[in-house]
Amino acid sequence: MMRFVLGRLVSLGLSLVAASLVIFLVMEVVPGDPASFMMGINADPAAVEALRRQLGLDAPLLSRYLDWVAGLLRGDFGISYTYKVPVSELVAERAAISLPLTLYALALSTLIAFPAGIIAAARRNSAADVTVMGATQLGVAIPNFWFAMLLVLVFAINLRWVSAGGFPGWDAGFWPAMKALTLPAIALALPQASILARVMRSALIDTLSEDFMRTARAKGLSEGQALRRHALRNALIPVLTILGLQFSFLLAGGIIIENVFFLPGLGRLVFQAITQRDLIVVRSVVILLVVAVIVVTFVVDLAYALADPRLRRPAP
């Protein structure tokens, strides 16, 4: 197990180095100069050049990359060109909304998908299976932004149970904050729950037909006992893969939902930074999202090894 973990850690480190290089170079080739954008189209060239020196944009490419990486390792992401505050403060403020929203949506997705997938697999080709598969097909087909607007129309405008958008802040209390995140979390969770339920059903159906399941039934276990004790664990590998991908998608891909519900999260921060040419914010947020995705992938790999000990063995 230790060799397995060390191998994954080396892979994680190399992935982070490669990701930082790609992100830095992509930001460098993006058209437009932040200093020119900040000064305006009629600015004096000398003033623009002075601002470029002040921002460190005139330094050699390699020097700027190394300074950026060194700052990341110290937790110093630089100063935002637009907001004139440390980028770390902006990211921490917005992550306090995006991260709980992601975890909330992922928890809802799992709580919906696991029972639905298990019921559909255990009662294959029954009315329950057809109903679950029909509902998941509908969930996959409906865009989450349209579903989000439908939730606002029903629960915020017609029933007036919740507000149509905005976030009161965690200072207002835990429950008011969670109430503001509930509709966005549902809008994010239901399409992902549909995908996860279909994967769970497919994996369980494949597992239920294996020889060891027939052996378990022959030893006297009921269908439910065999499913709980043997089938579920062996069906977890593809499900864990989807869960890891969904966490990454929910964290990095919630920009549309955040705009529908006017949530000041990381998605809206990146969108605003792009429109304002605040590339240091874009670069820092993107690398943090990449780090989150890579770390989640690492955790999923460890979960694979715990679920199936055969994966710890080196290839022959």
pLDDT digits (tens, 9 = 90+) for 48-68: 777 777 777 777 778 888 888
Task: Report pLDDT for 108.
Answer: 92
32 or 110, higher pLDDT:
110
Q: What are phi and psi of 86, to 5 degrees?
A: -60, 135
What mean pLDDT value characterizes the chain? 81
Distance CA 104, CA 303 (A): 21
Residue 171 has pLDDT above 80, yes or no: yes
Task: Report pLDDT for 141.
Answer: 85
Task: Report pLDDT for 249.
Answer: 78
- CATH 1.10.3720.10 placement within the chain: 94-312
Region at 173 (left for phi over 0; alpha for psi -120 to 50; beta for the rest):
left
Is the separation of the CB atoms in 96 and 167 below 8 Å?
Answer: no
Domain 94-312 has CATH 3.40.50.720: no
pTM: 0.79
Residue 315 has pLDDT above 50, yes or no: no
Q: How far is CA 288 from the centre of its chain?
A: 11
Q: Express each pLDDT in 272-285 by its tens digit.
A: 888 777 788 888 88
Task: Report pLDDT for 37.
Answer: 66
pLDDT band at 13 (very low <50, low <70, confident <90, very high): confident
Q: Express each pLDDT in 202-234 by its tens digit.
A: 888 877 777 777 777 777 776 667 777 767 777
Average pLDDT (250-271) is 81
Average pLDDT (298-316) is 64
Is the separation of the CB atoms in 115 and 122 below 8 Å?
Answer: no
